[in-house]
Amino acid sequence: MTDTALTTDAAIAKLVSKTESVKLPQGLIEKLDDIFSRLKINAHSEATFWENYQKTSQYIDLIISLPWTKESQDVLDLNFAQDKLDEGHYGLTSVKQRIMEYVSVLALQKNRNPDQKLRAPILLFVGLVGTGKTTMAKSIANVMGREFIRIPFGGLGDPFYLRGRSRTYPEAEPGAIIKGLLAVKTKNPVILLDEIDRVADDALNTIMGVLVELLDPEQNSTFIDHYLDYPFDLSQVLFCATCNNTTRIATAVMDRLEPIQMPSYTDEEKIAIARDYLLPKALEESGISPQELQISPNVWDQIVRPLGFDAGVRTLKRNLEGMCRKVALLILSDQTHKVIIDESNIKKFIPQW
């Protein structure tokens, strides 16, 4: 039976039944009682009732889907953490050491005060494009066994993107924080606030104000999304952030962050990363076997620096993927069964300007 085939009383009863199927905060239950009472008052006008009912139904579906109490179990094993960091990142010894210290503090808190909420510093990874800021932040979620949410701030010009838009507006919807929690279904994920220095100029002050609220443990336990219109506890979320530089970040935000500088990679480190991490992955994603594409050791210098200095490995990754695509075309065109890239043909496989 569709909702429109129900009587107004039955439709309201259906919504009430939904809310009773999950454990909700007492204050929210009282708020919902008021909403249901208003629906009953509007029931005499069916046209108005069903319009309000549809909006209320969407709101109820959001509420019952949010992880009000569900948490993932932390994995606070230092050996596991070290293995995961080494597996995902070559070099960066000082950065990985800082992550290990971070996990150690959380493990100690958990062991000595198991009933106490974990409190951790909010890490800010600072560095040039491609130096591993985002992947290092994701590694924190991996080593702790937590879900991961990435919220991009590049070009962000509207604080409603974070806070949501009130249900009184036609374009009402929850903000990125609540949407992320809906997706991962736990209340204690790692949330990465990515590129917080690249917010649009005209929204910089207002968005920095939202960041202060998100990152302050005294405030984020009662974070209010305008669509949800009820406090949600973000105190168990592990926030971290990235930026290229800190000059555009408000002092009040920086006071709540612990910067970690991401160093640029040397050419030797890039060669090791490309040879041992990026190339095997690019081969696998292209369906090419290691026997079908081989690279002579003496051309790696040209591969990692085809157009001059680059601090990170993002361009290097893209170039290796392009190389694999060229080889895949040659193989499928029956022009070859094996490619060896060396001094004689390297320029055919890397960008030239």
Check if the beta carbon of residue 267 is closer than 8 Å to that of residue 305.
yes
Write down the pLDDT at residue 86.
Answer: 86
Low-confidence ranges of the chain (pLDDT < 70): 1-5, 306-311, 352-353
Check if the beta carbon of residue 341 is closer than 8 Å to that of residue 349.
yes
Phi, psi of 23 (to 5 degrees): -85, 120
- DSSP, collapsed to helix, strand or coil, labels residue 239 as strand
Q: How far apart are CA 324 and CA 286, in angstroms?
A: 6
Q: What is the pTM of this model?
A: 0.83
Write down the pLDDT at residue 187.
Answer: 95
Using only C-alpha atoms, the chain has a radius of gyration, in whole angstroms, of 26
Write down the pLDDT at residue 151.
Answer: 97
N-term to C-term CA, the chain? 64
Check if the beta carbon of residue 178 is closer than 8 Å to that of residue 66.
yes
Largest CA distance in the chain: 83
Q: How far apart are CA 37 and CA 172, in angstroms?
A: 22
Write down the pLDDT at residue 1.
Answer: 44
Check if the beta carbon of residue 242 is closer than 8 Å to that of residue 284.
no
